[in-house]
């Protein structure tokens, strides 16, 4: 992998000493392709290639960021990643003046004449959005509704007119930047998240095609759990069914996602334990991973959850681990 190359499952950004701020996503072996993923990928690519920014909106853990990286990888352009942040101002997106450069010319060519000239030039540093628009890179703006509408306003003219307004560069004659035609943008947001998010302006939403994501189908979730833990598919199936049952609990304060399935599967795989009825460790691990998802966090609520889990395990899981030959 080259510098800043990331698998499409990794969302961490690594800045290289070279100063290259781009990411170069590549498909990872753990990335699961199912008909569900393929269909969404094809749809999103069709919209992006038609010049429409794509917005993945859905609850936590529905695979928005992973899909954004996967799709960006298909576009084969460098990727700029921005995480929405309520403290952002538009300068955090586009850049700002970073001081002044002073040029002083002293001309004493004719010894009896001294001419002095001083020029003060402001210096400008591009931030990620500007770099992306200049170079025609792919922008992934993750959880963009964590930034305020005021900060995101700069996107309106980028997405509609293909122009980036850079008031800070007006003095240098570069007040407007024509957006490179290769520029493409993928946004993600969680409309159910209230903490730390901002209402998104209609004008911005109107400039994107929103693909609403829900929890993936069972096949995708099972294959993700298998890929990320190495557990046997039938055991992953039991775990995913248990998590899906907790997802359907009425009046849930929180909803367990594929991350819960991955966590249980990994714990079992690493401990050499199995998703079967008689396994007390399996029961305990499920309870620990899922205990935050019931309606009640009291001791009585936890006993109810534990009983529910016991019944589920009895119904869904085999009595013992199946031997490979079976």
The site for ligand ATP (CB under 6 A) is made up of 9, 30-32, 37, 60-66, 188, 190, 224, 227-228, 258-259, 262
Q: Which is nearer to ligand ATP, 77 or 228 (CB)?
A: 228
Minimum separation from the CB atom of position 188 to ligand ATP (A): 6
Q: Three-state SS string across the chain, please?
A: CCCCEEECCCCCCCCCCCCCCCEEEECCCCCCCCHHHHHHHHHHHHHHHCCCCEEEECCCCCCHHHHHHHHHHHHCCCEEEEECCCCCCHHHHHEEEEEEEEEEEEECCCCCCCEEEEEEEEEEEECHHHHHHHHCCEEEEECHHHCCHHHHCHHHHHHHHCEEECHHHHHHCCCEEECCCCCEEEEEECCCCCCCCCCCCHHHHCCCEEEECCCCCHHHHHHHHHHHHCCCHHHHHHHHHHHHHHHCCCCCCCCCCHHHHHHHHHHHHHHCCCCCCCCHHHHHHHHHHHHHHCCCCCHHHHHHHHHHHHHHHHHHCCCCCCCCCC
| Nearest to ligand ATP of 81, 258 (CB atom) | 258
- Min separation Cβ 135 and ligand ATP, Å: 25
Toward ligand ATP, which CB reaches closer, 66 or 197? 66
- Least distance CB 220 / ligand ATP (angstroms): 7
**Least distance CB 130 / ligand ATP (angstroms):** 25
State which residue, 188 or 279, has the beta carbon closest to ligand ATP: 188
Closer to ligand ATP at the Cβ: 32 or 164? 32
The least CB distance from residue 143 to ligand ATP, in Å, is 7
In angstroms, what is the minimal distance from the CB of 218 to ligand ATP?
A: 14
- Closer of 146 and 207 to ligand ATP (Cβ): 146
């Amino acid at each position: 992998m080259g510098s800043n190359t990331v698998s499409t499952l990794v969302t961490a950004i690594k800045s290289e000493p070279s100063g290259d701020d781009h990411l170069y996503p590549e498909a990872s072996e753990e990335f699961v392709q199912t008909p569900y993923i393929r269909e969404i990928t094809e749809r999103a690519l069709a919209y992006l290639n038609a010049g429409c920014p794509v917005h993945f909106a859905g609850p936590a853990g529905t695979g928005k960021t992973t899909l954004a990286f996967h799709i960006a990888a298909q576009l084969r352009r460098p990727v700029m990643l921005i995480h929405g942040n309520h403290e952002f101002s538009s300068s955090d997106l586009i850049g700002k003046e970073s001081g002044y450069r002073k040029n002083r010319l002293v001309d004493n060519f004719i010894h009896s004449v001294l001419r002095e000239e001083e020029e003060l030039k402001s210096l400008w540093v591009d931030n990620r959005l500007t770099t992306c628009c200049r170079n025609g890179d792919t922008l992934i703006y993750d959880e963009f509704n964590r930034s305020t509408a005021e900060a995101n306003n700069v996107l309106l003219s980028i997405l509609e007119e293909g122009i980036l307004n850079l008031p800070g560069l007006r003095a240098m004659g570069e007040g407007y930047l024509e957006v490179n035609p290769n520029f493409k943008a993928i946004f993600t947001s969680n409309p159910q998240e209230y903490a730390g998010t901002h209402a998104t302006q209609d004008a911005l939403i109107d400039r994107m095609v929103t693909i609403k994501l829900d929890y993936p189908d069972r096949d995708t979730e099972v294959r993700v759990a298998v890929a990320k833990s190495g557990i046997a598919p039938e055991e992953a199936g039991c775990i995913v069914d248990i998590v899906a049952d907790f997802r359907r609990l009425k009046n849930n304060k929180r909803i367990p996602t594929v991350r819960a399935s991955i966590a249980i599967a990994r714990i079992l795989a690493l401990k050499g334990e199995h998703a079967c009825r008689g396994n007390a460790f399996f029961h305990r691990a499920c309870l620990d991973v899922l205990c935050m998802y019931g309606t009640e966090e009291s001791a009585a609520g936890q006993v109810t959850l534990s009983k529910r889990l016991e019944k589920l395990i009895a119904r869904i899981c085999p009595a013992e681990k199946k031997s490979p030959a079976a």
